[in-house]
Amino acid sequence: MPSRHFLSLLDFSSDELRALIHHAIDVKQSLKAGISHTPLNGKVLAMVFEKSSTRTRVSFESGMSQLGGHAMFLSPRDIQLGRGEPLGDSARVISSMVDAIMIRTFGHDRLQEFAQHSSSPVINGLTDKLHPCQLLADLQTWFEQRGDIKGATVAWIGDGNNMCHSYINAARQFDFRLNIGCPDNYMPDPDIISAGGDRITIMHSAEEASANADLVVTDVWASMGQEQEQQDRIKEFANFQVNSEIMQQADKDALFMHCLPAHRGEEVTAEVIDGPQSVVWQEAENRLHAQKALLEFLIAGHY
């Protein structure tokens, strides 16, 4: 049977995603209770990073060790992929020697091509288009704090980027409403929006999008690879900052999330990200627990 990959939230069914989140919560509780859980004894994860990372690298590497396996960090500076060895050849060779591969890259087509040639499960560790692992952690955080997210209202404020696209896919899979407030020139991909159906509402101001929201989410204004646009974007996104006024539009019990790294004073004020509604540290830690559940599912094939 060909390998299951996790390139997008849409690669799993809603039931599989919910089961994964619940398992992640159990795995976290076991870890905190000091109970060892090593279903991936002797298994190896290769991690290919074509972009920088703190959370993704540390969570996958720690996660594999805690599960009894090993993670191998591969930088394009050191492997032949960085000197032009074809993606397909690299995927075929690496996957023949490891049990799963996580890749963080630029174009989503590079990830898809890699996965096509891989005989082991491939995990999307972020592309320009999607960041599904982050959504597993965000959803785990919501489930821990508030229970199931079905029927909730989420506000996405800022850039229509890889995180925004992943929120649209999450709204489809978990059946929540998503109000998107982005500057006109930075809207998400129209095909991804239309596939989200009537759960997705495009709004043109941060105030409108955050009205009565149960969860307010933002991300950097310039993603990795867009560094040269940073100064222009600071001007274009000036009205799309998540600050106390925006949080006051939302429900009084609303939570705030950000995948990190954050730029205080740009997309979010220090008052909000370091304030009582922010769950960004739990969200970051949950990358570890959610991805351990993902690795167990993809490599062991069950929980």
- Has 287 been annotated as catalytic? yes
Letter string b/e over residues 198-237, b meaning 16 or more CB atoms within 10 A of that residue's CB: ebbbbbebbeebbbebbbbbbbbbbbbeeeeeeeebeebb
Stretch that binds ligand CP, among 30-38, 53-61, 72-80, 193-201 (CB under 6 A): 53-61
**Out of ligand NVA, ligand CP, none, which partner does residue 103 contact, by CB within 5 to 8 A per kind?**
none
Contacting residues toward ligand NVA, per CB under 6 A: 126, 131, 161-163, 219-220, 223-224, 259
Least separation in angstroms between residue 229's CB and ligand CP is 18
Give the distance, in angstroms, between the CA of residue 13 and the centroid of all CA atoms in the same chain: 17
**Which of positions 134-173 make contact with ligand CP (CB under 6 A)?**
134
> Measured between alpha carbons, how far is 134 from 244 in angstroms, rounded to an integer?
25
- Has 131 been annotated as catalytic? yes
> Measured between alpha carbons, how far is 68 from 37 in angstroms, rounded to an integer?
8
- Has 70 been annotated as catalytic? no
> Measured between alpha carbons, how far is 181 from 178 in angstroms, rounded to an integer?
10
Least separation in angstroms between residue 159's CB and ligand CP is 14
Between 18 and 104, CB nearer to ligand CP: 104
- Has 259 been annotated as catalytic? yes
Stretch that binds ligand CP, among 31-39, 48-56, 177-185, 196-204 (CB under 6 A): 48-56
- Has 164 been annotated as catalytic? no
The pair phi, psi for residue 301, each rounded to 5°, is 90, 0
Least separation in angstroms between residue 255's CB and ligand CP is 17
Sole binder of ligand CP in the list 10, 79, 234, 260 (CB under 6 A): 260
Q: Which parts of 49-151 fold into alpha helices (H)?
A: 55-66, 87-95, 108-116, 132-146
Contact status, residue 213 vs residue 154, Cβ threshold 8 Å: yes
Between 127 and 153, CB nearer to ligand CP: 127
Helical pair 132-146 and 14-32, crossing angle rounded to 10 deg: 70
Sole binder of ligand CP in the list 94, 259, 273, 295 (CB under 6 A): 259
- Has 108 been annotated as catalytic? no
